[in-house]
Structure 1
């Protein structure tokens, strides 16, 4: 079965270019397109099946990260890959905070979109090299912590970390896993200690830098060591 993708961008020429690039990516894809968040939500509400949304940030009626915020609020079940002309690392981080599965600058080389698509479809979080380079590289303490603690996260902690990567707030994670808010907070604290980070965004960046994706966090998956 082909992977169903919805492209949301208000510029028809650029949108057509994205669709063409996707079809040339060598994946078995079924691509739909529309020019606004409102039109996208109407299609989804009408029954359009989408397994991934490729979303422009700045469109009429949706400026900044509001398009992503709206999409994640209305359809949190569908992963979103952001394409944007705004390459400010703060914007990238805000998109990660809101649960984007990746961010591709519109100025990126043409082969970056297929690479991002391949990683996201494989369960990873794609971040542009320029975004990762502004962070301090994983230090020896982080390598050691992931090897010793991250690899031995309990099944429940893996589930909580998966929720973090998916952009779910604690209350939603607690509801999904039938846990109390306090229990989820305790798990989150342990996860941060394991990764030597202090926030959700830092955790996602650490995993993206290490090449660790969503499938690696699923219960029963073989732990992946943090790479340099």
Structure 2
């Protein structure tokens, strides 16, 4: 397994690499001090299972670093590390397809927890971000509890794509379906979860404590 760490501060980057090796001793770690260098390493063709990306990079403002990576390599899962832990920023990162967000002020055990979830295909959200927005309604809680019964096997596959931050076009390609068919499935999924958009769906599952493994275990395939 190979993880690409992208951060322009060598000392902090070294700390992240050390934490990664402490968590996964056999891990291969590649480093880059800027987004362009990271994209060049990706273009060299080496396997990368996850990119850990600092938002504040040279030549980038706001969420530009994440936008650039997602635009050029939407197939590479990205875990964001940032000193800006505003709930709005966290939500915007998830909107852009990040697989998770870890504040730089987080306790030491949060990064291993995030790695475990993201590498299994889930989306990691810091606990502080889950408190924003309205509390789950009774209808939403009921929908989450009955999630397996409400979705078809194909809709479960589409939901996994949504949680993994894949745009509709990529989900359509992966499942060999048309964009229109995927949009129809997404609409049904939103109705089943009692949400109105992709980010709300991710947050709904996170608030319900449902990760990828739990999602798959709860859902019974059609016969």
TM-score in terms of structure 2 length: 0.91
Describe how 1:7-86 pairs up with structure 2 within 5 A. Answer: 7-26=5-24, 28-86=26-84
Following TM superposition, by how much is the alpha carbon of 1:149 offset from its aligned partner in structure 2, in angstroms?
Answer: 4.4
Partner of 1:222, secondary structure, is: helix
Following TM superposition, by how much is the alpha carbon of 1:83 offset from its aligned partner in structure 2, in angstroms?
Answer: 0.1
Residues 123 and 164 in structure 2, CA contact (< 8 A), matched pair in contact too: no
- Tell me if 1:223 matches 2:221: no
Equivalent residue for 1:92, pick from 82, 90, 95 = 90
Structure-2 residue corresponding to 1:185 = 183
Residues 124 and 212 in structure 1, CA contact (< 8 A), matched pair in contact too: no
Describe how 1:143-158 pairs up with structure 2 within 5 A. Answer: 143-158=141-156
Following TM superposition, by how much is the alpha carbon of 1:185 offset from its aligned partner in structure 2, in angstroms?
Answer: 1.7
Distance 1:149 1:130 in 2: 25
Following TM superposition, by how much is the alpha carbon of 1:117 offset from its aligned partner in structure 2, in angstroms?
Answer: 1.0
Q: What CA RMSD, in Å, does the superposition of the two structures yield over aligned residues?
A: 1.8
| Unpaired runs of at least 5, structure 1 | none
Following TM superposition, by how much is the alpha carbon of 1:85 offset from its aligned partner in structure 2, in angstroms?
Answer: 0.9
TM-score in terms of structure 1 length: 0.89
Following TM superposition, by how much is the alpha carbon of 1:28 offset from its aligned partner in structure 2, in angstroms?
Answer: 3.3
Following TM superposition, by how much is the alpha carbon of 1:88 offset from its aligned partner in structure 2, in angstroms?
Answer: 1.3
Distance 1:21 1:167 in 2: 25
Residues 81 and 100 in structure 1, CA contact (< 8 A), matched pair in contact too: yes
User: 1:17-63 CA deviation, whole Å, 9 max, x = no partner?
Assistant: 11111112255311111101100111111122210100001101222
Residues 124 and 211 in structure 1, CA contact (< 8 A), matched pair in contact too: no
Change (3 A) 1:173 1:47: closer
Count residues in correspondence: 219
| Unpaired runs of at least 5, structure 2 | none
Describe how 1:139-218 pairs up with structure 2 within 5 A. Answer: 139-217=137-215
